[in-house]
Amino acid sequence: MTAVADADRATSPGLVPEDKKYDADVIVIGAGPSGSAAAYWLATAGLDVLLLEKTTFPREKVCGDGLTPRGTRALVDMGIDVSQEAGWLHNKGLRVIGGGLRLELDWPELASFPSYGLVRPRADLDHLLVQQAVKAGARLHEQTSVTGPVMNSQGRVEGVTAVSRHAEARTDKTEITYRAPLVLACDGVSGRFGLALGHQRNDKRPMGVAVRRYYNSPRTNDDYLESWLELWDGPPGADDAKLLPGYGWIFGMGDGTSNVGLGVLNSSAGFQKTNYRELLTRWLDHTPEEWGFREENAIGTTQGAGLPMGFNRTPHYQNGVLLVGDSGGSVNPFNGEGIPYAMESGKFAAEAVIQALARPAGPSRERALHGYPAAMAAEWGAYYRLGGVFVKLIGNPAVMRACTRHGLPHPRLMKFVLKLLANLSDPRDGDASDRIITALTRITPALK
């Protein structure tokens, strides 16, 4: 038995007649930034989208809650009002702390990106994104946990099984089936849907783990995102202070709290051999008392999750399934930013699906679907390969220390580094630093 009544079945312009046996044109698993963005673009093109989400909105997501201008652009693209009046905290750049120095770098002025970033709790951000997808016409089923793929006799995925408490599920069975010719796995870092299909994580590619906690803090209003390149167990720079693995952040939330966290990369000796929660406390214990990052000001517990980077899960398309956002390892290895890449990959996936569903099932449709991994490789494949090298280099504390000490005192060099690390440059009509970044990514073979 399928979960959606005949009357609800797809009648969208996208499906060619033989596909009408399905419950929807496309099933999207997970309504995080990747799933909601994909659903929004698919529904905007008139496709019938079933967006299945195991939780209920608004819901929390472990995150730093910070967006660079790349994130701002992705939100603007989806028609989200990102004004301060609408509750967004704007930031004008990145404050970098390391090697005894403190440098404020403004976001670059570019044609391709706005010159401000944003901060917003994920509970709000993800709710706004999913509402935008629903407004565009996507059918959201909350409290619906996908349990596995439904395969046809040729080994192609043609739907999913799920456990649902959503009102429309209307079934007395514990597990229900939803059918569609295409499925987008947007289920985040766990990537269970891809794993169920046998897609393994590529451990040679970069991976990180990050933890964060909220504190009531007088640092709540900050118009820079703050990044710590060195974390000290002891007064910074003191003879007996020990350098801890990882990189930290302090993002003011503008509501009386700060989001404070750290990440450790798999190139670091401390990866998976460290108690990350304890690491955060040890670092924060040595920050100034008046900032308030102490137990008595903490809100909730320290929470963490993995950061799947540099396309560490592929293939991005196979047998009717597209891996999108974290489930496709799309986090930027240079800076650990994942939200904009999740949203942009959602758009690339949607573009491929929209073209594919306007063609009959078969080789022509498949060619259109392979346009998704091709777009991912063209957009970030070379940049992420460079990111993999970067992650290996900075995993060595001596290299990191040398970069911090010799790089930070040179603001012009740091402006270039900011553009490179945050992936913010103009591919056309840019300045000399944009041209260097474009040239670097042109001569580097793309990861797939």
Ligand X SMILES: Cc1cc2nc3c(=O)[nH]c(=O)nc-3n(C[C@H](O)[C@H](O)[C@H](O)COP(=O)(O)OP(=O)(O)OC[C@H]3O[C@@H](n4cnc5c(N)ncnc54)[C@H](O)[C@@H]3O)c2cc1C
**Sole binder of ligand X in the list 140, 331, 382, 421 (CB under 6 A):** 331
Q: Which is nearer to ligand X, 2 or 145 (CB)?
A: 145
Does residue 151 contact residue 158 with C-beta atoms inside 8 Å? yes
Structure tokens at 379: 């957009």
Distance CA 292, CA 430 (A): 42
Task: Check binding of 149 to ligand X (CB under 6 A).
Answer: no
Q: Which residues pair with 97 in a beta bridge?
A: 102, 228
Task: Check binding of 195 to ligand X (CB under 6 A).
Answer: no
Structure tokens at 19: 């596909």
Distance CA 425, CA 21 (A): 46
**Sole binder of ligand X in the list 108, 304, 333, 381 (CB under 6 A):** 304
CB of 443 to ligand X, least distance (A): 28
Q: Which residues have a Cβ under 8 Å from the Cβ of 172 and sit 6 or more positions away?
A: none
CB of 34 to ligand X, least distance (A): 3
Q: Which is nearer to ligand X, 32 or 430 (CB)?
A: 32
Q: Which residues pair with 52 in a beta bridge?
A: 29, 141
Task: Check binding of 185 to ligand X (CB under 6 A).
Answer: no
Residue closest to ligand X when measured from CB atoms: 338
CB of 46 to ligand X, least distance (A): 23
CB of 311 to ligand X, least distance (A): 13
Chain residues 364-403 in contact with ligand X, contact rule CB under 6 A: none
**Sole binder of ligand X in the list 25, 158, 337, 426 (CB under 6 A):** 337
**DSSP structural state of residue 320:** T
Task: Check binding of 64 to ligand X (CB under 6 A).
Answer: yes
Structure tokens at 48: 């019938």
Q: Which residues have a Cβ under 8 Å from the Cβ of 442 and sit 6 or more positions away?
A: 382
Task: Check binding of 31 to ligand X (CB under 6 A).
Answer: yes
Task: Check binding of 307 to ligand X (CB under 6 A).
Answer: yes
Task: Check binding of 305 to ligand X (CB under 6 A).
Answer: yes
Task: Check binding of 329 to ligand X (CB under 6 A).
Answer: no
Q: How many CA atoms lie within 13 A of 171 on its CB side?
A: 19
Give CA 348 to chain center in angstroms. Answer: 14
DSSP 13-55: TTS-GGGTTSS-SEEEE--SHHHHHHHHHHHHTT--EEEE-SS
Task: Check binding of 53 to ligand X (CB under 6 A).
Answer: yes
Task: Check binding of 351 to ligand X (CB under 6 A).
Answer: no
Q: Which residues pair with 264 in a beta bridge?
A: 209
Task: Check binding of 47 to ligand X (CB under 6 A).
Answer: no
**Sole binder of ligand X in the list 2, 9, 19, 55 (CB under 6 A):** 55
Distance CA 68, CA 422 (A): 7
Task: Check binding of 131 to ligand X (CB under 6 A).
Answer: no
Sketch the per residue contact string, 207 through 236, with ligand X: x for CB under 6 A, - otherwise: ---xxx------------------------
Task: Check binding of 63 to ligand X (CB under 6 A).
Answer: yes
Q: Which residues have a Cβ under 8 Å from the Cβ of 129 and sit 6 or more positions away?
A: 31, 33, 36, 37, 40, 78, 80, 343
Q: Which is nearer to ligand X, 29 or 45 (CB)?
A: 29
Choose the stretch contacting ligand X; rule: CB under 6 A; options: 98-106, 183-191, 376-384, 413-421: 183-191
What is the size of the binding site for ligand X (CB under 6 A)? 41
Distance CA 114, CA 69 (A): 6
Choose the stretch contacting ligand X; rule: CB under 6 A; options: 59-67, 90-98, 277-285, 314-322: 59-67
Q: Which is nearer to ligand X, 179 or 365 (CB)?
A: 179
DSSP 349-405: HHHHHHHHHTS-TTHHHHHHHTHHHHHHIIIIIHHHHHHHHHHHHHTSHHHHHHHHH
Q: Which is nearer to ligand X, 15 or 26 (CB)?
A: 26
Residues that bind ligand X (CB under 6 A): 29-35, 52-55, 61-67, 71, 145-146, 186-190, 192, 210-212, 261, 304-305, 307, 325-326, 331, 337-339, 342
